[in-house]
Amino acid sequence: MELLAFVFYYITPYIAVVVFFGGLAYRVYRWWKKPPVAAHLSLFPRPQSRLGRLLDTLVDMFTLKGLFRVNKPLWLGGFIMHLGLLFVLVGHIRAFTDFYFLWKLLGWGKEEQYLFSAIAGTTAGTLFTIPLFYLLARRLSGAVKWLSVPEDFFALILLISIALTGFHMRLLHHVEVEELHRFFAGLASFRWQPPPTSTGSSFIYHFAFAQLLMVYFPFSKFTHTIGSVLSKMVARS
Amino acid sequence: MLTKFIETMRQRISRPLQYYADICVRCGACVEACHFYVASGNPAHIPAYRMMLVKKLLQQGGNGRGILDWYRETGRIDDQTVTEIRHALWECTGCRRCAVFCPFHLDTGLLVNTGRYALLQEGLGMEMTAEIGNAELSKGEIVDALKEFYVEQVRELEGRLREEWGVPDLRIPVDQAGARVLYVPVVGEHAIIPLAKIFHAAKENWTLSLFTATNHSYFVGDIPKAKQVAHWIVDEARRLGVQVIAYAECGHATRTLLQYFDHWFGEELAGIQRMSVVQLVAQYLAEGRIRVRPGTFTMPLTYHDPCNLGRNAGIYEEPRALIRAVATDFRELTPGRELNWCCGGGGGMIAEPDMLEVRIKAGRPKVEQIQRTGARVVVTACENCKTQLADLSERYGLGWEIKGAVDIVADALVM
């Protein structure tokens, strides 16, 4: 176990970063290599001007308004999950650096910072996690069951695993962000530092699952992160 | 099995199709969008499932026992797979209603179009449609030989209409150099008669095309052939020096005209406007070039947005303007416009006698939707929709009167 933990702390993170960015670049290159379709794949109505179409795409990206119109329960699940994810990702900036400017502006000390992070982080995590269970449950019956392949369950369970190990740290441990800063700075500069101890045992699992997600991401439906922007723009071209 | 299909598909997969295949999250938003699925309950009709089937075949290569095969569900290809893929790719009208429902707007129409061509290489289905496409293609080569006969028939029609309408100076010009508008009809005089009347009243300098707008090669995804068929018409337009190409009420042809032509022909189209004849007639009405009797239609009337004019080309207002000018009891369908249910007759299925039962079944959501309005007259602007709606009316015993958007204008026209 010691050895395995060592590998996940100090070896695989590099692989994960390389595969994540390299894989996404490869994915986009693979799309680019294919011949374009000699037609407008537009859906109407769509805004007249180029700027209008770009704005409409952006609004749709951030609100999923197209889905809202046709399927409200799915919109609610999908929208809240992505919103929670956005907040969670922003919050994770604190694992690498901190919102020093913000804290200074608010005049908050360590205690206030921790309290705020605890409330905001738990809320964001909840917004992210509960819809994941809904999205998982709806795959177990009805027509969506036909549309569900192992990949779909794997993706959801992976996200849920990351979320739950994150909750474990958030709710049962008092994480010292300085420890995390030191650890990640060490990884980035190849001057390895000891792993954080204030996080309890969950950190290594959380960290390993996140790496798995990074490696898996470019070769899965998670590429909709990039691809959906293209397809939404094509539909308004 | 399906080796030719897989091979062709791999060659023909385009950029959007590749990322559609990669990014579909199978969320199921498309399930309720498809009239085929809603009517049949067959999973092979769910748009995302159609994509899954094709993807599964493209990922073949394992022995069906490995972990990757389990993960991707790529087992052996058996008769069941062949049946499913045929349902998935032929039983689709390419209406793209699912693309509106899809949060990413993934275009199942494009998948089906590409997939059909690949299935044809395998010898699986819709040969009739492909054959009609071939006939349209060869017409361009022998058009000079057909011309004399065609002109003679048009003259005969012209004479008949002059007498019938009491308009001795009515003209149906064919192959007329220097005309402003080249009108491209569909097969049958019903596509010429109302326009002859309207063009006469609008004092338009027009000419009838020697060709028809229909392009069956497009239905079966044979894009090079479809392009060549369309090129006969571009050639004709350039030879005659027209300023406007106006296509008859024909859905798929209008889509090629408005969404494909500039990619296909680019500079060749310089100075030539392209439009549906519905748009042209709406222009006449707006400019006061024609006058109609308001209240010609007093019975409840509804308009069915053909997918290729509505969702796929954005022609929503023009047909409604025509209807409002002549009808007093116009009732909109709900859901309407880009969420309008497809009639179930598109995608070339009309030409296939074998597909009759499938499309009658797939028309059920449409029937229910129209019944809710209580309309007695159903107006639409697509030849396929008209045929399908007439078939639905007959089979479900509904007694609808089916009219084209230009037909109602012709009926109400002040000569």
* Residues of A whose CB is below 8 A from B259: 39-42
pLDDT at residue B63 in the model: 54
What single letter denotes the amino acid at residue B162? Answer: R
Contact B115, B47 (CB under 8 A): no
For residue B151, the Cα-to-chain-centroid distance in whole angstroms is 27
Angle CA(A95)–CA(A100)–CA(A104) in degrees, nearest 5?
A: 145
> Are B72 and A40 in contact (CB < 8 Å)?
no
Residue B41, min C-alpha distance to chain A (Å): 9
Q: B291-414: what CATH class?
A: alpha beta
Residue A229 DSSP class:
H
- Which residue from B25, B52, B338 is facing A43, i.e. has the nearest CB? B338
Chain A interface test: which of B25, B55, B318 (most A C-beta within 10 Å):
B25
The structural domains of chain A, ordered by start, are 13-234 (1.20.950.20)
Which residues make Cβ contacts (< 8 Å) with residue B103, sequence separation at least 6?
A64, A66, A67, A78, A228, B27, B29
* Per-residue burial over B140-166, b = 16 or more CB atoms within 10 Å of its CB, e = otherwise: beebeeeeeeeeeebeeebeebbeeee
> Are A232 and B16 in contact (CB < 8 Å)?
no
pLDDT at residue B61 in the model: 60
- Which residue from A40, A146, A221 is facing B25, i.e. has the nearest CB? A221
> Are B22 and A223 in contact (CB < 8 Å)?
yes
> Are A44 and B31 in contact (CB < 8 Å)?
no
Q: Where are the alpha helices (DSSP H) in A173-223?
A: 177-189, 202-216
Residue B365 DSSP class:
H
Mean pLDDT by 10 residues, chain B (415 residues): 91 96 97 97 97 88 64 75 94 97 97 96 88 92 93 97 96 97 97 98 98 95 96 97 98 97 95 97 98 97 98 98 98 96 93 93 97 98 97 97 98 95
Instruction: Provide the number of CB pairs (under 8 Å) joining chain A to chain B.
Output: 156
ipTM of the complex model: 0.95
pLDDT at residue B66 in the model: 66
Distance separating alpha carbons of residues B56 and B72, to the nearest angstrom:
7
Give the pair of three-digit tokens for residue A193: 């530092």
> Are A146 and B260 in contact (CB < 8 Å)?
no
* Residues of B whose CB is below 8 A from A230: 16, 19
> Are B110 and A38 in contact (CB < 8 Å)?
no
| DSSP track, B135-163 | HHHHHHHHHHHHHHHHHHHHHHHHHHHHH
Average pLDDT in the A210-227 region?
97
* Residues of A whose CB is below 8 A from B338: 43-45
Residue A190 DSSP class:
T
Contact A146, B46 (CB under 8 A): yes
pLDDT at residue B78 in the model: 84
Q: What is the mean pLDDT of chain A?
A: 96
Distance separating alpha carbons of residues A104 and B116, to the nearest angstrom:
63
Residue B400 DSSP class:
P
| DSSP track, A5-72 | HHIIIIIHHHHHHHHHHHHHHHHHHHHHHSPPPSS----SS--SSHHHHHHHHHHHHHH-HHHHHH-H
Give the pair of three-digit tokens for residue A114: 């921790």
* Residues of A whose CB is below 8 A from B71: 149-151, 154
Three-state SS at B212 = coil
Strands B330-331 and B301-304: parallel
Give residue B77's region: left, alpha or beta (phi > 0; psi -120 to 50).
beta
For residue B52, the chain A residue with the least C-alpha distance is: A147
> Are B23 and A40 in contact (CB < 8 Å)?
no
For residue A65, the chain B residue with the least C-alpha distance is: B103
Q: Which of A78-87, A207-216, B345-354 has the lowest mean pLDDT?
A: B345-354
Give the pair of three-digit tokens for residue B201: 């009243």
Distance separating alpha carbons of residues B383 and B399, to the nearest angstrom:
19
Angle CA(B114)–CA(B120)–CA(B124) in degrees, nearest 5?
A: 120
Residue A216, min C-alpha distance to chain B (Å): 13
| DSSP track, B66-111 | SHHHHHHT-----HHHHHHHHHHHHS-----HHHHHSTT---HHHH
Residue A63, CB-side half-sphere exposure with 13 Å CA sphere: 10
Report which secondary-structure segment, H or E, holds B247.
strand B244-247
Distance separating alpha carbons of residues B14 and B223, to the nearest angstrom:
12
pLDDT at residue B56 in the model: 86
Report which secondary-structure segment, H or E, holds B413.
strand B413-414
Angle CA(B126)–CA(B189)–CA(B157) in degrees, nearest 5?
A: 150
Model confidence at A187: pLDDT above 80:
yes
Per-domain boundaries in chain B: 3-121, 127-287, 291-414
Q: B3-121: what CATH class?
A: mainly alpha
Residue A221, min C-alpha distance to chain B (Å): 5
pLDDT at residue B94 in the model: 96
Contact B102, B349 (CB under 8 A): no
Distance separating alpha carbons of residues A49 and A69, to the nearest angstrom:
23
Contact B385, B367 (CB under 8 A): no
> Are B14 and A34 in contact (CB < 8 Å)?
yes
Give the pair of three-digit tokens for residue B391: 């078939």
Distance separating alpha carbons of residues B6 and B113, to the nearest angstrom:
15
